[in-house]
Structure 1
Amino acid sequence: MNPHTEQEKEYLGIYDDPEEILRCKGRLGKSKLSLETKEPILLPARSHLTCLIIYETHLLNNHSSPLLTLSIIRKQFWIPSGRRISEKSIHKCCLSCRRYTAKPFNLPPFPQFPIDRVEPSPPFTAVGLDFCGPLYIKTPFLVPKQKKTTQFDVKKYWITLWVCLATRAISLDLIPDLTLDSFSLSFRGQTAKHGIPKTIYCDNAPTFIATKSFLSNHAQISPPKWHFRTPGAAWKGGHYERLVALIKGHLKRTLAGGAIPRTFLFHEVSTILLEIELVINSRPITADSANPSDPRPLCPLDFLKPCGHNITLQILPSSEEKAEDPDYTPFPLSNQQSLSILWEKLSNRTKAFWSRWKRDYILSLRERHKKLNSINQRWPITNELVIVYNESTPRSNWSLAVIKKIFYTEDNFPNTAQIKFLNGNVSLRSVHHLYPLETADEIKQK
């Protein structure tokens, strides 16, 4: 029975040849092409036979592209919606090509901001931690048997970056290597300046993992709570990775010093880092107003130094404010009641400051919303065969793995997967770094 409608017959010029084979008439009747090409055999788009013919042609022509495969097939056959059917059939049947055409699973919608970013807290209570570098720094040393002769050796140094989640302030430190001993000294220096952080967000650097283990076993007080992001998922640490780019931009321009870069001494680079830290902490984190009477935008330095940079802190109202403040009490304060009044005024000013932080900064985070484009039409499932993204190698060398477990977000979207490689190693990866090698039909057959 002919499944085609009268409209399709008229549009495609379908007719039965003497052998009762459906063929299509086109407008090439006067050409010198063969009859098979001018009036090709009609293949139904959703037929398994059509899929096999496409796959065979694809293999016979050394894994030709869908467009080239279709061009060869059209010398003898006609497939409605041929480009789409050709691409779909090759992806379905050819596992070798699927490795190169597979698309990663979609990223889940961006989750809610962690509470450490949207609630007021002292600076560096919750921090993002990362390494930056290396930098090449000159280290002086004395030449043996020549007491007054000093030469320089170039060594690698790294930058330890601490980012406050609430205030967006940064703190930089220079360390000679990425060992636990060197980072421990940097950690002690950070706690001496800004106190012990309660929460630390970082990547899976071996130094950070070793530090967590060391603090858990030897800390005399409650150690920080560590949050390690999924390996390779740099966007999950975007609140501090973005500042790495800012630091690198300042360093490249500052250390170059002109057309010919030069190598600096340790104390020179340390001073430059302090200046870069001040510059970045002076950047505005709220929008600037065109009205000169509006207050200036907030910057991280306001949280670290309420008086600002090179500005004297005025704890008491200025002379201009005396007439406007009916509750102004002149100095000296000589009794407990007066000190209590001053304390209450300072507390009210602090509350007003954090209210502005909530109104201007926190609400501005709502504007930074990005719509994710849909890449894959389905989500990963357990026991599915995938290839794992690796930016340092071509796709042909990406490792095969099987999804063993899937971790979901608070909104019940797949976020991270536990995978097992062919060599038996088990690791975590973002679902966006997994490329499925099995089609939906193959998954259903399981």
Structure 2
Amino acid sequence: MASSTLVAALPTPLRNFRSEYKFPIILPRHDALVESLIGYYHKKYLHAGPELLMSLLRQRFWILSARRIIRSKINKCNTCFKLKPRPRFPLMSALPGHRVTQAEKAFAHTGCDYCGPILYTPIRARGVKTRKAYLCIFTCLTTRALHIEVATDLFTVSLIAALKRFLSRRGPVKYLYYDRGTNFIGTRSFLRDLYNFVTKEYRPRLEEELAESRIEFKFTAPAAPHFGGCWESMVKCVKNHLFKVIGQQILAYEELITILAQIECLLNSRPLTVLSSDPAEPTALTPAHFLNTLPLRSLPAPDVKSSPINLLQRHTLLDKLVQSFWRRWRTEYLHQLQARRKWTQCSVPVKVGTVVIIINENSPTLSWPLGVIVKVHPSKDGIVRVATVKTARGILVRPVVRLCPLPTQ
């Protein structure tokens, strides 16, 4: 009697439908049967999305809070996850000490990267074939100053030549930070062998000079350009200015180095701090303030900021000028580096034994390789940002932001 009353209360178009559609079975949200049912329908209907899957289920079942449980179940599907993998982003690390500590000079801590290729001609003449050139960009990690060198190829010899030109113009460097390019690794091996030869043969005479001039190489993790974001951002700025200026034109070598010198001058004149509208305020601090203020091999200078200017000797005026720039650098620039722009929350850390998908932008998503984490490399703050992954083709070291753990773990 009750069933006939309910049928009579339905609109006329619904009276001809099946009874399970008119009176669906009510199911709870948290139940193993519900999860199995959603998984069965999801696979049966070719890994349907949340809205379509909920529409299909409601033809027979009415699941409480269906949309939430369906989305949760689909997010755990490995097949759907492989089509659109999502990596985990650990908390952004604190800035290294050389970014927030006053250095002896500009380019004491230097990041280096290549960009290109750029087509050029040796001379401006008819019938001359074009050649490829690469930009070797050196960035001071403390003052954000820039230096650009042109390399004609990607071999180690070309990088060493660019490095020699850079050191001749900007003075000695204590630390060089590179990515894992093969030319950078070859340069490190070449200089290490040369250093070993020199120390064994001529150590008594050159020990003091080598102690001053020896450069320590530091490499970032493979496939982790965000580890070198300080110099990667400068590469982006150089490329933007260069391509806006030359467009599709092919320049002669002399024209190319002239344009690059002007871009270097422009970027070294950019303000590091916010410009003030008060005309009485000093001009904004720029990277150019820290360039060409010291000899290439300068001696340590005492602190002269408290001494009156009229009593200073002539040779200490330059020291006071340089120290005033560094004082402004501490008071006006350093506080801007405190804010984290992204990755402000801790994610679930990866562990040994986790099965992951390794991101590779050069291949389709479904072709990204699977791997198992065999070792993690915690940073100084204890957060894992780099891991060693074992794949079918060998063992790789990759940053965590390139690893997508499968959701069924």
Q: TM-score range by the shorter chain?
A: 0.7 to 0.9
Moved more, 265-274 or 228-237: 228-237
Query: For 1:44, which of 28, 44, 52 is the aligned residue?
Result: 28
Secondary structure of the 2:343 match is coil
Aligned partner of 1:316 in structure 2 is none
Cα contact 2:358–2:402 (8 A) shared by 1? yes
Unaligned runs of 5+ in 1: 1-16, 18-24, 142-148, 308-324, 330-339
Do residues 380 (structure 1) and 350 (structure 2) align?
yes
For 1:200-349, list aligned pairs within 5 A. Answer: 200-219=176-195, 220=198, 221=210, 223-256=214-247, 261-306=248-293, 328=310, 341-349=313-321
1:29 Cα deviation (Å)? 3.7
Asked if 1:137 is matched to 2:120, the reply is: yes
Partner of 2:373: 403
What is the aligned-residue identity percentage?
A: 29
Structure 2 residue 66 is matched with structure 1 residue 75: no
Q: 1:328 to 1:139 in 2, by over 3 A?
A: closer
The separation in 2 between residues aligned to 1:202 and 1:27, in whole angstroms, is: 78
TM-score by length of 2: 0.84
Partner SS, residue 213 of structure 1: helix
The structure-2 alpha-carbon separation of the partners of 1:53 and 1:150, relative to structure 1 and needing over 3 Å to count, comes to closer
Name the structure 1 match of 2:49. Answer: 65
Match of 1:34 in 2: 18
Q: C-alpha distance in 1, partners of 2:293/2:170?
A: 15
Distance 2:269 2:21 in 1: 72
Between the aligned partners of 2:8 and 2:21, the Cα distance in structure 1 is 11
Q: C-alpha distance in 1, partners of 2:289/2:8?
A: 77
Q: Which of 166, 170, 175 matches 1:190? A: 166
**Deviation string, structure 1 residues 222-278 (Cα, Å, up to 9, x no partner):** 54222222222222211111111111122112213xxxx321111111111111111
Give the corresponding residue for 1:369. 340
- Aligned equivalents of 1:183 and 1:388: distance in 2? 30
Greater C-alpha Rg: 1
Aligned match of 2:37: 53
Q: Confirm or deny: 8 A CA contact 1:127 1:199 kept in the other structure.
A: yes
The answer to whether the 8 Å contact 1:163/1:240 transfers is yes
SS of equivalent to 1:153: coil
Q: Secondary structure of 2:130's partner?
A: strand
Instruction: Rate the CA distance shift 1:381–1:279 in 2: closer, same or farther, 3 A.
Output: same
Residue 358 (structure 1) aligned with residue 309 (structure 2): no
Q: Secondary structure, in 3 states, of the residue corresponding to 1:156?
A: strand
Residues 370-414 of structure 1: per-residue CA shift (max 9 Å, x gap): 24366x962211111110111222211111011111112222222
| CA deviation after TM superposition for structure 1 residue 42, in Å | 2.0
User: 2 CA distance for matches of 1:26 and 1:419?
Assistant: 61
Q: How does 1:429-440 map to 2 (within 5 A)?
A: 429-439=398-408
Query: What is the TM-score when the length of structure 1 is the normalising length?
Result: 0.78
Q: CA separation in 2, counterparts of 1:430 and 1:159?
A: 26
**2:391 aligned partner:** 421
The Cα offsets for residues 283-326 of structure 1, whole Å up to 9 and x where unpaired, read as 1112211111111011111111349xxxxxxxxxxxxxxxxx98
SS at match of 1:189: helix
- Note closer, same or farther for the CA distance 1:347–1:157 as it changes in structure 2 (3 Å cut): closer
Q: Which runs of 5+ in 2 are unaligned?
A: 199-209, 295-306
Higher relative contact order (CA 8 A, sep 6+): 2
CA–CA distance in structure 1, aligned partners of residues 320 and 309 of structure 2 = 14
Shift of 1:438: 4.2
Query: In structure 1, which of residues 378, 394, 398 is the aligned counterpart of residue 364 of structure 2?
Result: 394
Which stretches of structure 1, 4 residues or longer, exceed 4 Å deviation after superposition?
A: 25-28
Secondary structure of the structure 1 residue equivalent to 2:361:
coil
Structure 2 letter corresponding to 1:81? S
User: Any idea what SS the aligned residue of 2:162 has?
Assistant: helix
Give the equivalent residue in structure 2 for 1:152: 128
Q: How far apart, CA to CA, are the structure 2 residues paired with 1:395 and 1:27?
A: 53
Work out whether 1:175 is the aligned partner of 2:145: no
RMSD, aligned CA: 2.7
How many corresponding residue pairs? 376
Higher helix share: 2
1:180-210 CA deviation, whole Å, 9 max, x = no partner?
1111111111111112311111211101111
Distance 1:52 1:327 in 2: 82
CA contact (8 A) 1:45 1:79 kept: yes
Which amino acid in the other structure matches residue 105 of structure 2?
P
Summarize deviations over 1:413-442 as a string: whole Å, max 9, x none: 22111111122x111111111111143xx4
| Letter paired with 1:430 | P
In structure 2, how many angstroms separate the alpha carbons of the residues matched to 1:267 and 1:180? 23
